[in-house]
Amino acid sequence: MTAPRPRRRISRELTRIANAPVDSVLAEIGDSAPASRPRIGVTGPPGAGKSTLINTLAAHRIGANLCDTMAVLAIDPSSPVSGGSILGDRIRMDRIADLPGLFIRSLSSRGARNGLCDNIVDLLVALERHAFDEIVLETVGTGQSEVEVAELVDTTVLIVPPDAGDSVQTMKSGILEVADIIAVTKADMPGAARMAADIGTILRARGDWMPPVVETRGDGTGVPRLSDEIDRHRAWLAEARPHAVSNARRRRYHLRALIARQAEEALSGDRHLAEGALADAYEKLTRKLGVG
């Protein structure tokens, strides 16, 4: 038997990591090495055009030699009923599907409610270990509060469709505050310029970074500018935020995520655990987890 080719080796490793229970994450996967590859997060409401944007953005960045290799992790929601999922982000990624330097992995949220999925930290680190030049993380379609993606990536791109209407108001306290760049997609539709202007009036600078608003189209119009803004933000970040700060934030996210999963594993493994008075149930759970 011959050794598996690299693509298959990477892909099997990702499966193993995605399926690892908390105990094996701690024992076998262990410390996340300090991130060494730029990460781009793409988030926004369902149907906003996240996958389409990644399709054109990856084609541009690889085509213009801004990077040679890129890994994309695209998360879709799992069914709350069956736990299964339809992972359809690839349908919109047809332009880039055959690029040799590109690796796309579709992930199920597996019940995670923050727009991400179990073990996402370890999956990102695994891709970094395989030395992809850049990593793109696409969240599930999100609302206003799924801001945790920003803790895991360097540059957060928020996608807003022109017809988002009043929902932009609701993003004011939330995802708009952590977005580094806003892309108004489907800019050939009526209302896109208005939407971009409206967002511009809501945005506030963070430090001396003023999040730019870029209009893009499905055919790739506007994407080179978006790509330039990503590079500009990356250069700014290198000055403004020491890497240790990013790593500390990621470590805190990682620990919280592991505790949440451990609690979920304990609760689903023993249905009596949640019974009785709330304070007693809490006591039982924390004792089981060995905390508190």
Partner 1 sequence: MPLDKKRILIAKPGLDGHDVGAKVIALALRDAGAEVIYTGLRRSPEHIVRIAVDEDVDMVGLSILSGSHKELVADVVSRLESEDAGDIKLFVGGTIPDEDHADLRDAGVSGVFTSEMKIETVIAEIERQLS
Binding residues vs partner 1 (CB under 8 A): 2, 4-5, 7-8, 11-12, 14-15, 19, 78-79, 81-88, 90-91, 94, 97-98, 103-106, 108
Q: Which is nearer to partner 1, 4 or 63 (CB)?
A: 4
Starting at the edge strand that comes first in sequence, how are the strands of the sheet with 134-138 ordered? 102-108, 70-76, 134-138, 39-43, 155-160, 181-184, 213-215
How many angstroms separate the CA atoms of 133 and 157, rounded?
18
Q: Which is nearer to partner 1, 92 or 233 (CB)?
A: 92
Cβ neighbours for 101, distance < 8 A, ≥ 6 positions apart: 62, 67, 68, 69, 70
Q: Which is nearer to partner 1, 91 or 274 (CB)?
A: 91
The CB-of-125 to partner 1 minimum distance in angstroms stands at 18
End-to-end CA, the chain: 51
Rounded to 5 degrees, what are φ and ψ at 151? Answer: -75, -20
The CB-of-21 to partner 1 minimum distance in angstroms stands at 12
Q: Which is nearer to partner 1, 94 or 280 (CB)?
A: 94
Q: Which is nearer to partner 1, 83 or 276 (CB)?
A: 83
The CB-of-150 to partner 1 minimum distance in angstroms stands at 26
Instruction: Confirm if 48 and 160 have CB atoms less than 8 A apart.
Output: yes
The CB-of-13 to partner 1 minimum distance in angstroms stands at 9
Can you spell out the DSSP letters for 126-166?
HHHHTT-SEEEEEPPS--SS--THHHH-SEEEEEE-GGGTT
The CB-of-87 to partner 1 minimum distance in angstroms stands at 5
Q: Which is nearer to partner 1, 84 or 190 (CB)?
A: 84
How many angstroms separate the CA atoms of 253 and 245, rounded?
13
How many angstroms separate the CA atoms of 45 and 31, rounded?
32
What is the distance of C-alpha 66 from the center of its chain?
A: 21
